[in-house]
Amino acid sequence: MTVTATSVGQSDPMPPQAAPSAWRRWLVRLVPAAAAALSGLLLYVSFPPRTLWWLALPAFAVFALLLRGRSWKAGLGLGYLFGLGFLLPLLVWTGVEVGPGPWIALAVIEAVFVALVGAGVAAVSKLAGWPVWAAALWTAGEAARARVPFSGFPWGKIAFGQADGVFLPLAALGGTPVLGFAVVLCGFGLYEIARVSLEARRTGTVRRVTAAVGALGVAVPLVAAIAARPLVSDTAEDGTATVAVVQGNVPRLGLDFNSQRRAVLDYHARETERLAAAVDAGRAERPDIVLWPENSSDIDPFTNADARAVIDRAARAIGAPVSVGAVVGKDGKLLNEQVLWDPAKGPVDTYDKRQIQPFGEYLPLRSLVGAINDEWTSMVRQDFSRGTEPGVFTMAGTGVGLVTCYEAAFDWAVRDTVTDGAQMISVPSNNATFGRSEMTHQQLAMSRVRAVEHSRTVTVPVTSGVSAIIMPDGTVSQKTGMFVADSLVQEVPLRSSRTPATRLGVFPEIALVLVAAGGLGWAAGTGVRGRARR
C-alpha cells in the first residue's frame, strides 16, 4: 500500500505553535517597569541621612541595563518610573505638614525631567562611547530641573548624595555638575563592564573596544577624584575666626511654630545670653561672630520696639556682631532678611534672600491653586519679594557669605558670595516646618558639598536642628541634635583662594550640556541614515 504525503499529513498533523499567554506578555512589561522603580528607590537610599553613597553606582548600572537598546518611547516610560522611585521617597518631607497632595504633585512633575533623560539615554545607547553621552544627558536634565519651572528645583542632584563618597573632591574641580557626571558615568561604566564580561563568558569572545569604554567609564572618574584631592584643604589662609552657631529651638514642631514667633525670638536670645554667661565664666571661648538661623525673629525688629530690645540685649551680652534671621516689611514688600546686628550700633547691614521658595515663600498660579484648595493659599497670604544682591557681611573683619536655607541647593547663589569676597559661608535655615524628617540631613549634606566646592568653612545655624560647623574639606566638626536649644563655638579657618569650580562657574555645566546635545544629534543622524538605507 502506497502512503501519500497527503495521507501522512492528515494522519500525523503538526501541533500548532503556541501563542505566548497573556500573563507572559504582562510579565515582559512589568519586570522592566518594576526594576526601573526599584533602581530609583536604590538611588534614594544612597542619599543622607544614610552614608550609602556607593549605592548610586548600582542604581545607575541597573538604569543602563533597562534602557540600553530600547526605543526612546520605552526610555521615556522607564525613566519616569525611575524618577518616581527616586523622588517620591526623597521629597516626602514636603508633605509633612501640608498633606500628600503637594508632595505627590512635586514628585510627579520633577520625574518628567528624569523621563526625558531616560528617553535620551535610550536614544544614545546605540552609539560608540554611549556612557559618556548618557551621563552628560543626566547632567543636562539636572541643569534643566534647576531652572524650570518657577526658577527651578535642584533638590536631589546626584552630587548632594556624595558628601561621604570618594568622588567628593571633584566638587572643587567642576562643582556639582562634574561631581554628578562622574558618579553617573561610573555607574554606566560598571554596567558596560558587566555586559561585556557576561557576553565573553557566553561566546568566548571579548569585545575589546566596548570593554575599554566600560573600564574607562569607571577608571577616569576615580582617577580624577584622586587627582583632585590636593584641591581639598582646611588650612587657614587668612587666619581664623571664632564663630558661635546658635540654635534656640522652637516651642513645637510643624507649621504651628509660626504662631509662637515671639517665643522663637526669645529662645534664641536666651540661648545667646546663656552662651555669654558661659564665656564670662570661662567655660566657653568668646566668639568673634555669632550666627542665628533664618526666622529666628519673625517679628520685624525695625518696626517692633520689643523685638529690637530683645536682640539688642542678646548682642550686648555676647559682645559680638550677630547675624539675625528676620521677616521684614519694607515699602509694602515682605522680605526674608538677614540683619547684621552690631552690639553697640544695632542693625548696620542686611541681606535679602534672592532664591525664594515657590509654594513656601510665594505662591505661583495663586488663582489656580486656590481653586484646587483654599487652605493652600491661606498658608502663603502674602508673597515674599526677592533680593537682588549677594550677601556678604563684614563681621569682626571677616567676610561672611549668606546663603539662606533653600538657596544652598542653587549653584549660583552660593558661588556669588565667594566671588563677592566671602572667607566663610553661613547657611541660616529654618527646618522646624518639616519636623524630624530627612530634610535637614539632606540640606546638611548640600552644605558639606558646598564647603568642598568653594573651599570654605560653612556654618549651618538652624532653628531646630541639625545645626553644624563644617570644615572646608567637608567634614562636620560639630553638630547639634534636633529640637534642642544648643550652641556651637569653634575657631575655624578663613580662606580666600578660589577653587577651579569657583573660577569656572557655570562653564563645566554648559560643556556637559553641549556634550549631551552632541550625543542626541549624533543619535538622530544615525537614525535618519538607517531609515534612508532601508
Bridge partners for 201 per DSSP: none
- Whether the CB-CB separation of 240 and 424 falls below 8 Å is answered with no
CA distance 240 to 440: 27
- Whether the CB-CB separation of 462 and 440 falls below 8 Å is answered with yes
Q: What 3-state class would DSSP assign to 281?
A: coil
pLDDT of residue 7: 43
Q: Which of 153, 51, 160 is nearest to 111 (CA)?
A: 153
**Long-range residue pairs from 436-441, CB within 8 A, at least 24 positions apart, any chain:** 436/253, 436/482, 436/483, 437/92, 437/93, 437/96, 438/47, 438/48, 438/49, 438/92, 438/93, 439/93, 440/465, 440/466, 440/482, 441/48, 441/49, 441/466
Q: Which of 248, 314, 310, 249 is nearest to 279 (CA)?
A: 314
- Whether the CB-CB separation of 67 and 125 falls below 8 Å is answered with yes
pLDDT confidence tier of residue 272, bands split at 50, 70 and 90:
very high
Give the residue carrying C-alpha cell 532664591: 355
Radius of gyration of the chain (CA): 27
Q: pTM score, two decimals?
A: 0.91
- Whether the CB-CB separation of 445 and 48 falls below 8 Å is answered with yes
User: What does the block give as the cell for 433?
Assistant: 516646618
Least confident piece of the model among 37-51, 266-280, 301-315, 357-371 = 357-371
pLDDT of residue 256: 46
User: What does the block give as the cell for 88?
Assistant: 517620591
Q: Which residue has better confidence, 204 or 182?
A: 182
pLDDT of residue 253: 53
Instruction: Give the pLDDT confidence of 493-507 residue by residue, as tens digits.
Output: 999 999 999 999 999
Instruction: Give the pLDDT confidence of 359-389 residue by residue, as tens digits.
Output: 888 888 777 766 666 666 767 778 899 999 9
pLDDT of residue 9: 44
Mean pLDDT score of the chain, rounded to an integer? 91
pLDDT confidence tier of residue 171, bands split at 50, 70 and 90:
very high
pLDDT of residue 8: 42
- Whether the CB-CB separation of 315 and 324 falls below 8 Å is answered with no
Catalytic center residues = 294, 353, 405
Q: What 3-state class would DSSP assign to 486?
A: strand
| Mean pLDDT of the region 287-304 | 95
pLDDT confidence tier of residue 200, bands split at 50, 70 and 90:
confident
Sheet of strand 346-352: strand arrangement: 346-352, 333-342, 322-330, 289-291, 240-247, 486-493
User: What does the block give as the cell for 332?
Assistant: 509694602
| Per-residue pLDDT at 4 exceeds 60 | no
Q: Which residues lie below 8 Å from residue 220, measured CB to CB, with a gap of 6+?
A: 185
Least confident piece of the model among 21-25, 65-69, 168-172, 458-462 = 21-25
Q: Which of 195, 60, 71 is nearest to 114 (CA)?
A: 60
- Backbone dihedral region of 248: left (phi > 0), alpha (psi from -120 to 50 degrees) or beta? alpha
Instruction: Give the pLDDT confidence of 207-247 residue by residue, as tens digits.
Output: 888 889 899 999 999 999 999 999 999 999 999 999 999 99
Buried b (16+ CB within 10 A) or exposed e, 291-324: bbbbbbbbbbbbeeeebbebbbebbebbebbbbb
Instruction: Give the pLDDT confidence of 473-493 residue by residue, as tens digits.
Output: 999 999 999 999 999 999 999
Determine the distance from the C-alpha atom of residue 203 to the mean position of all C-alpha atoms in its chain, rounded to a whole number: 43
User: What does the block give as the cell for 37?
Assistant: 522603580
CA distance 81 to 38: 9
| Mean pLDDT of the region 424-449 | 94
CA distance 451 to 93: 24
Q: Which of 108, 99, 117 is nearest to 376 (CA)?
A: 99
| Per-residue pLDDT at 69 exceeds 60 | yes
**Identity of the amino acid at 88:** L
Residue count (the chain): 534
Bridge partners for 207 per DSSP: none
Bridge partners for 394 per DSSP: 399
Q: Which residue has better confidence, 5 or 263?
A: 263
Percent of the chain surpassing pLDDT 70: 91
Give backbone dihedrals phi and psi of 282, rounded to 5 degrees, phi first: 80, 10
Query: Beta 240-247 vs 486-493: how paired, if at all?
Result: antiparallel
pLDDT of residue 501: 98
Bridge partners for 323 per DSSP: 291, 340
pLDDT of residue 257: 43
CA distance 60 to 63: 5
Q: Which of 124, 91, 222, 232 is nearest to 167 (CA)?
A: 222
Torsion on CA atoms 255, 256, 262, 264, rounded to nearest 10? -60
Which stretches of 146-249 are DSSP H helices? 170-203, 208-227
